[in-house]
Amino acid sequence: MAIRLPGLEVAPRTNATPSYGTRGIAPPRDATAGQLGDLGEAAAGFGYGVQRIADFKQDEVDEAKSQTEFNAYAEKLHGLGPFVWAFRAFMAAMLCLHVIFAVLLTLENRAANPDKYAVKKMLKTTFAGETMIWTGLLLLAFIVYHLLQFTVRVTPDIVLGNDAKNRVDVFTMVFTSFRITPIALVYVAAMITLFLHLSHGIQSIAQTVGLNNDKTMPQFGVLGKVLSALFLVGYSAIPVLILAGILAK
């Protein structure tokens, strides 16, 4: 049964992976709580996705800039002051909501399937869908590391200094970090994890808001994979090109 809200129809997850076995089919979760949780998770995920798109465009520009232009851009960004902190606070709230709803939904699904089946057959599932909670937790750990590295600047690899115009030399900080093989590989691995998480998450958002019919779901599936691949290639390019020596100071 679909739940109707004013101006919105939220359809149940038809591709939520059911488990079949000798013990039968697990009872469905409470529709209202589960689907409202889905909406909250989708909204938070969408907000964070917007931030990822903004970062992706910034990275494309940064890659083409010289050291001087890179540092000038960073100084201008930090010069926005309260606007930067307001945006950071908003994105932190979106991330917290996303994590909370994801954990709650995972626990709810597990409560509906408390016992393991003697024979387990998964229908309409993918590796990305089955590992959403794990890829999400890995991405959370990566975000913490990324902030400690380039925002708080407390990791051992960070080279602090100023450029010729006495600005913080962000370009050198990023360049020297990505010249360290383990760090570059961590970023590439994180982008592969992001690819898996988004390739299923984008399709799930469409499904959550009721666009889950036989015509639209394959289209959103393709859209999710294409956008996720763009993020993977775009974000991975900078550490890979720096590590390979193609991008040099």
Q: How far apart are CA 41 and CA 86, in angstroms?
A: 21
Which pLDDT value is given to residue 192?
95
Taking each helix axis from N to C terminus, what angle separates 31-64 and 67-78, rounded to the nearest 10 degrees?
140
Q: Are 39 and 13 spatial neighbours (Cβ–Cβ below 8 Å)?
A: no
Q: Identify the segments of the chain with pLDDT beneath 70.
A: 1-66, 114-124, 208-210, 212, 249
Report the C-alpha dihedral over residues 92, 76, 233, 227, rounded to 10 degrees.
Answer: 60
Q: So what's the pLDDT on residue 186?
A: 96
Residue 4 is predicted with a pLDDT of 43
Coil, helix or strand at residue 3:
strand
Q: Under CATH, which architecture does the 27-112+125-243 domain have?
A: Up-down Bundle (1.20)
pLDDT of residue 183: 96
pLDDT digits (tens, 9 = 90+) for 59-79: 544 444 467 888 888 888 888
* Separation between Cα atoms, residue 157 and residue 147, nearest integer Å: 13
Q: What is the pLDDT of residues 170-188, one digit of tens each?
A: 888 999 999 999 999 999 9
Q: What pLDDT shows up at residue 221?
A: 81
Predicted TM-score (pTM) of this structure:
0.66
CA distance 85 to 88: 5
Query: What does the alpha-carbon distance between residue 239 and residue 230 come to, in Å, rounded to a whole number?
Result: 15
Q: Where are the domains of the chain?
A: 27-112+125-243
